[in-house]
Amino acid sequence: MSEIVKKFMYLNRKAPYGTIYAWEALEVVLIGAAFDQDVCVMFMDDGVYQLTKGQDTKGIGMKNFSPTYRTLGDYEVKRIFVDRASLEARGLTQEDLVEIPFEDFETEEEIDNIVEIVDSARVSELMNESDVVFSF
Question: What does the binding site for another protein look like in residue numbers (CB under 8 A)?
Answer: 14-19, 45-46, 49, 52-60, 62, 64, 66, 89-92, 96
CA gap 15, 44 in Å, rounded? 10
Give 116's strand partners: 81
The answer to whether 42 touches 86, Cβ cutoff 8 Å, is no
Residue with smaller CB distance to another protein, 95 or 112: 95
- Distance of closest approach, residue 91 Cβ to another protein, in angstroms: 2
In the complex, the smallest distance separating the C-beta of residue 59 from another protein, rounded to whole angstroms, is: 3
Minimum CB distance to another protein, residue 68 (Å):
14
Nearer to another protein by Cβ, of 18 and 119: the residue is: 18
How near is the Cβ of 119 to another protein at its closest, in Å?
17
Question: Long-range contacts of range 19-26, CB-CB < 8 Å, 24 or more positions apart?
Answer: 21/136, 22/47, 22/50, 22/65, 22/136, 23/63, 23/65, 24/136, 25/134, 25/136, 26/65, 26/68, 26/69
Closer CB to another protein, 10 or 17, in the complex: 17
The smaller minimum CB distance to another protein, of residues 61 and 106, is found at 61
